[in-house]
Amino acid sequence: MPELTKERILALATQYDADFNPNSPEIVIERAEGATLTDTNGHTSIDLSDIIMNVGHRHPRHVAALKAALDVMITNKSGQTNAARAQLVKRLVDITPDNLDKVYLVSEGSEAIDWAVKIARRYTGKHEILAFWGGVYGRTYAASSLNGLMRRKRQFGPVMPGVLHAPYPNCYRCPFGKQPKDCDMFCIDFLDQVMQYESTDDLAAVIVEPYQGVGGMVFPPEGYLTRLQEWCEARDVLFILDEVQSSFGRTGKIFALEWENLRPDMICIGKGLGSGIAIAGVIGESRLFDALDPGELSGGNGGNFFAASSALAVLDIMEEEKLPEHALEIGTYLLSRFKQLQSEFNVIGDVRGKGLSIAMEFVKDPVTKEPYPEIVRQIQSVCYENGVYFGSRSHILDVRPPLVITQAQAEHAADVIEAALRAALNN
């Protein structure tokens, strides 16, 4: 492939790439390794933005596994099996709660969500699915219908019938105006009102993210997911966890469900499982999958040898390098640094997170909580100039690095963010 300048790459992307955002920073990443990015100008930066590359960019063992797989086979018919796929599905069952004993592998998270909805409807014979405000479940038809943000489904026409929505427990911006210390998780009790006024008494399942990533990096209070699971059990409703973003070490555990010892009926997984290679899946109870006839789950590329080999290598690296524990250690440090900044600067309305999924929410006024996206853009620009790259959602600064980020890199990144914040406030 001929070498291209940054300007030529951006011009090609603007003209031909339907998914390219011309308003994004004019940065083209040329190489990546570990938690370090290098752009076409040779400028290096610490990657605080990649929710997918949990084992880091081009981890040597991951690369070696991919090269070895290429020498054997890339794909095969998804309804059949192969050595890597057979090992992977057993491995996934082994590391999830013991009620989950079957796996269906697909290519991406939205596809996994779609299948979880189909399976729930087939098994229960009911059609309603309860999702949450602020939730982002994917971009395919069923998944986007579940999305609790208008911007994720705007003007695409009618959504899938049978979708109900309820408020997610956003304690910083509680839709009920309550405080965590005395609300007794009112949002759980409110579900009964949602059912009374919105449901046709045909609820098949509840699907929830352990934390909302795209929806603003919102973390529910401790115990909320346990209460939600109990609510489902009391009503004989399937409990589905969307762990596409939160799994494989991201929160300091292999699965976020481990924080409350949850036992969902199904889990949807993706992103970090492949660490850059497209693979996702649904892990569930046999009784649910048994509601489908043989062949009904078959898809074009799910569970192919190459992707399954990638996932096996990722799990090996996670386990042997203790990446979930490392993520918790580094995340605890970063959370502490950011909370120190919050205590000093009232433009930081909230700091929240778990493991290496952390957010700072910036506001113009701590009382009105008016969002402050301008300062986040300033901080982002200055940070990149000084070797730190992070993503943002309007007024929310996201920190979600590869789990291999070192302590030294984390300290440097925190120093750069602090300096950029101080500079922005002094201008």
Domains of the chain: 6-55+322-426 (3.90.1150.10), 61-320 (3.40.640.10)
pLDDT, position 79: 65
Q: Give me the mean pLDDT over the 246-272 stretch.
A: 97
Residue type, 326: H
Burial of 259 (0-12, 13-18, 19+ CB in 10 A): middle
pLDDT, position 268: 98
pLDDT, position 77: 62
**Could you tell me what percent of the chain has a pLDDT over 70?**
99
Residue type, 122: R
Question: For residue 272, is pLDDT > 90?
Answer: yes
pLDDT, position 290: 96
Model confidence pLDDT, tens digit, residues 209-227: 999 999 999 999 999 999 9
Q: Give me the mean pLDDT over the 96-104 stretch.
A: 97
* Average pLDDT of the chain to the nearest whole number: 94
pLDDT band at 370 (very low <50, low <70, confident <90, very high): very high
Alpha helix segments (H runs only) across 322-406: 323-344, 373-385
The DSSP bridge pattern shows strands 357-362 and 388-389 to be: unpaired
Q: Give me the mean pLDDT over the 237-262 stretch.
A: 98
Report CA 312 to chain centroid distance, whole Å: 20
pLDDT band at 301 (very low <50, low <70, confident <90, very high): confident
The DSSP bridge pattern shows strands 163-166 and 203-208 to be: unpaired
Please give the C-alpha separations between residue 90 and each of 83, 101, 368, in angstroms, as whole numbers: 11, 8, 51
Model confidence pLDDT, tens digit, residues 167-186: 999 999 999 999 988 899 99
Q: Give me the mean pLDDT over the 251-260 stretch.
A: 98
Q: Give me the mean pLDDT over the 195-210 stretch.
A: 97
Model confidence pLDDT, tens digit, residues 105-162: 999 999 999 999 999 999 999 999 999 999 999 999 999 999 998 887 888 889 999 9
Model confidence pLDDT, tens digit, residues 46-95: 999 988 999 999 999 999 999 999 999 887 765 678 999 999 999 999 99
pLDDT, position 78: 59
Question: For residue 283, is pLDDT > 80?
Answer: yes
Question: For residue 391, is pLDDT > 80?
Answer: no
pLDDT, position 401: 97
**Could you tell me what percent of the chain has a pLDDT over 90?**
87
Lowest mean pLDDT among 20-34, 124-138, 356-370: 20-34
CA dihedral 419, 218, 280, 296 (to 10 degrees): -160
pLDDT, position 1: 62
Give 56-64 contacts, CB < 8 A, sequence gap 24+: 56/275, 56/402, 56/403, 56/404, 57/32, 57/33, 57/276, 57/402, 58/32, 58/33, 58/34, 59/34, 59/275, 59/317, 59/404, 61/313, 61/316, 61/317, 62/275, 62/310, 62/313, 62/314, 62/317, 64/313
pLDDT, position 3: 80
